[in-house]
Chain A
Amino acid sequence: VMHLKYHGGYVVIRLALAGHKQANRPFYRIVAAYNKRARDGKYIEQLGSYDPIPNIYNEKLVSFNFDRIKYWIGCGAHPSKPVAKLLGLAGFFPLHPMTITEAERRRAKMELTETATKTEELEQL
């Protein structure tokens, strides 16, 4: 068994492309791997999956293996930003601050565009 001994390496929980080799159709696996490994390379364990393209019912499917995620976080694994965001949206972690700020920014922009269109309509009239 080819087992690398990492000196000062740590485990991360991150998304890895599942290698379906189709252009413009990604599919990610949520994976526990060593930090220095390639993104799609050999991982320690698969902890779930994430499909970023919405399906026919307009839902994006995510799956988690909470038991093993708890084990790895207890062993000292670092989750990456997108994984942390997904877990926050799922309710397992607290909501990531950036999701809240992004939502606020988008809402501010939408309100701006709404007011802009409203003033345009008023001026047209």
Chain B
Amino acid sequence: MFRVCIGGGGVQAARLLAPRSAVLVEAVRGRKSRSDPVAKSKAGRIKVPPPVDPVEMLVLKHRFSEYQLIMRALRLEFKEEMLRKKYEEETGSQAAERARQEAEEHRALMAWNNQENLRLLKIRMKRIQKEDEEAEAKKVDAALKREQELEEFIKEKEREILQLQEEAKSFITLENLDQRIEEALDNPKNYNFAIDKEGRVVKQTALQ
């Protein structure tokens, strides 16, 4: 809202033009931007660099040249030391021995690894063998079972057939029809009976 009212200055100008308190709460570094007007107290100010003492400047120049010389020499020395270290690291006296040791370690570890692999392979083969045998045994058992079941089934069916054959003897056919009707009419069967909770059956009824 403020920014729309005051076009160019921004928030900083707002703080300058309309301070609510006597002392501004914030004194942020760089409050003024480039386009803000200079303060009245600094109207005719000409910025002047700090005064240089020529004697001191001469002494300083000499000291600085010395300092830079020593610094350059130090830099080159450190570079040389670094390169020497790197060179020794790669192709030094210890490097060949270390490489040999590492190669030996590598060989030993690879041999150990191969041993482990062989051992595990043997274990795996045994396990697979066992599993195959078990599967075969299971198959054989299953086949046996199936055969047994077939046999039982056949036996059941034969028993049923025999039973049916026996029952067939007492079936009512066209020839027996008249005989059986006369027999049924001559002997009336009474299916009525009474029973109580103790299980005493009473077959005497009102019907005949």
Contact A101 B81 (CB under 8 A): no
Query: A6 contacts the other chain (Cβ, under 8 Å)?
Result: no
Query: A100 contacts the other chain (Cβ, under 8 Å)?
Result: yes
Contact A74 B81 (CB under 8 A): yes
Q: Name the interface size band of chain A.
A: 10 to 19
Query: For residue A97, which residues in chain B have a CB less than 8 angstroms away from its CB?
Result: 60, 63-64, 67
Query: B82 contacts the other chain (Cβ, under 8 Å)?
Result: yes
Query: A94 contacts the other chain (Cβ, under 8 Å)?
Result: yes
Query: B75 contacts the other chain (Cβ, under 8 Å)?
Result: yes
Contact A71 B82 (CB under 8 A): yes
Task: Tell me the residues in window 67-115 of chain A with beta carbons closer than 8 Å to chain B beta carbons.
Answer: 70-71, 73-76, 93-94, 96-97, 100-101, 104
Contacts A97-B60, A97-B64, A101-B60 hold; do A70 and B78 have CB atoms under 8 A apart? Answer: yes
B: number of interface residues (CB 8 Å): 17
Contacts A94-B71, A101-B56 hold; do A74 and B63 have CB atoms under 8 A apart? Answer: no
Query: B95 contacts the other chain (Cβ, under 8 Å)?
Result: no
Q: Which of B56, B66, B67, B75 contacts A74 (CB 8 A)?
A: B75
The interface residues of chain A, by DSSP majority, are classed as helix
Task: Tell me the residues in window 44-62 of chain B with beta carbons closer than 8 Å to chain A beta carbons.
Answer: 56, 59-60
Contact A73 B78 (CB under 8 A): yes
Which residue of chain B is the closest to A104 with respect to CB atoms? B56
Contact A73 B74 (CB under 8 A): yes
| Separation of A96 and B63 alpha carbons in the complex (Å) | 9
Query: For residue A71, which residues in chain B have a CB less than 8 angstroms away from its CB?
Result: 78, 82
Interface string of B74-118 (1 = CB under 8 A from A): 110011111100000000000000000000000000000000000
Interface residues of A (CB under 8 A from B): 70-71, 73-76, 93-94, 96-97, 100-101, 104
10 contacts between A and B (CB under 8 A): A71-B78, A73-B78, A74-B78, A75-B79, A76-B75, A94-B66, A96-B67, A97-B64, A100-B63, A101-B56
